[in-house]
Amino acid sequence: MNSDDRNGIDYSMLQSRLGYKLRRAQLVYFDVFFEACAQEGITPGLFSILAIIYHNPGLTQSAVSAALDVDRSAMVAAIDKLESMEVVERRKSKNDRRSYALYLTSKGKTFTERLNRKVVAGEEGFDTFMKEGEREWLLDILDRIIAARQNK
């Protein structure tokens, strides 16, 4: 329980830690996510941007960077790349001529939906390791942990 793992190494101090297991479990899902993205020629970070714009068309670059909690300087190359793939377009904002409003092209919408289906399908492969109702319970408890951070 608190000693051996896969290779004769004793992971005690790490193994018993909930944070450590959350990290390793998250990496399992991340591999699936990463692989699905890679097949379509993008990265998880770029997919996150597409997902935000898909559901919130017209946001500025700064708004997207704030939503994803990365610096706005990081958005420049990211949007450049997505524009070169013709899945996102910058439209000059009319009310504020400093900023762009971001939209998915129709190709971008199709692309994002296909990618999303692929990721969902990949994750479903792990549902077989959960019993009836466990998935909902897991999502619920993760929500409580996430909410706990906001309450400091």
Partner DNA sequence: TATTGTTATACTCTATAACTATA
Partner DNA sequence: TATAGTTATAGAGTATAACAATA
The DSSP code sequence of the chain is --SB-SSS-B-HHHHT-HHHHHHHHHHHHHHHHHHHHHHTT--HHHHHHHHHHHHSTT--HHHHHHHHTS-THHHHHHHHHHHHTTSEEEEE-SS-TT-EEEEE-HHHHHHHHHHHHHHHHHHHTTGGGS-TTHHHHHHHHHHHHHHHHHT-
- Binding to DNA (CB under 7 A) within 97-126 occurs at 97-100
Compute how many residues bind DNA; rule: CB under 7 A. Answer: 23
- Selection from DNA, a copy of itself, none that 51 binds (CB < 5 to 8 A by kind) is a copy of itself
Residue selected from 74, 120, 130, 138 as contacting DNA according to rule CB under 7 A: 74
**Between residues 63 and 70, which has the closer beta carbon with respect to a copy of itself?**
63
Q: Is 110 in the site for a copy of itself (CB under 8 A)?
A: no
Among 4-12, 94-102, 130-138, 144-152, which window interacts with DNA (CB under 7 A)?
94-102
**Between residues 79 and 108, which has the closer beta carbon with respect to DNA?**
79
Among 55-63, 71-79, 82-90, 101-109, which window interacts with a copy of itself (CB under 8 A)?
55-63
